[in-house]
Amino acid sequence: MLRLGDNRSSHRYLSYADGIAALWQDWLLLVSRVLIGWIYLQSGAGKIMDPVAVATGLTRRGVPDILAYMAPFVEFFGGLALVLGFATRYAALLLILFTIIATWISHTFWSFPEGAQRNQQFTQFWKNVTMTGGILALFVAGPGRISIDRWLSRR
């Protein structure tokens, strides 16, 4: 854990926020996990209610059957793991892979003609790239002390 004065992130005039980050690190990591995990949790929740319909739609796009049936559960339980801080780094890696695959399958903006649909897919594509960056940062930082991982590490 970063302690005040341990390591400045930049020049001393640009490092005033370091103390806030150090002081609130565990709470900010909790908020980060919840914000990142929530989108996967809520999106996956609807999909696990009818995984056959989801898998049918994905197989039409060329996704292998086994991956198509796994996708809703990976999305839901990966999001749940992030929110709870359980197997956080593994969940992060799994969701990074999931997001890359989902982005490549579902947000192919380059295949749309110019116009509103292409713009929407472009926005969704880059939203997913940004989410992947957030998950990667969480993978590096870890879950923080307010997590099931931390509780399990004490056992």
14 band by pLDDT with thresholds 50, 70 and 90? confident
**Does 6 map to a domain?**
no
Q: Residue 6: what pLDDT?
A: 57
Please indicate, yes or no, if residue 30 is contained in any of the structural domains.
yes
Q: CB–CB of 151/35 below 8 Å?
A: no
Contact status, residue 95 vs residue 81, Cβ threshold 8 Å? no
- What band does 3 get if pLDDT is binned at 50, 70 and 90? low
Binned at pLDDT 50, 70 and 90, residue 4 comes out as: very low
Burial class (CB in 10 A: 0-12, 13-18, 19+), 105: middle
Asked whether residue 1 carries a pLDDT value surpassing 80, the answer given is: no
In a domain, 7, yes or no: no
Would you say residue 36 lies in a domain? yes
Total count of domains within the chain: 1
86-140: pLDDT as tens digits: 999 999 999 999 999 999 998 889 989 899 999 999 999 999 999 999 999 999 9
Domain that holds residue 20: 12-153
Assess if residue 3 is contained within a domain: no
Please check whether residue 46 lies inside any domain of the structure. yes
Mind listing the pLDDT tens digit for each residue in 16-38?
Answer: 888 888 899 999 999 999 999 99
Q: Is residue 90 part of a domain?
A: yes
The answer to whether residue 5 sits within a structural domain is: no
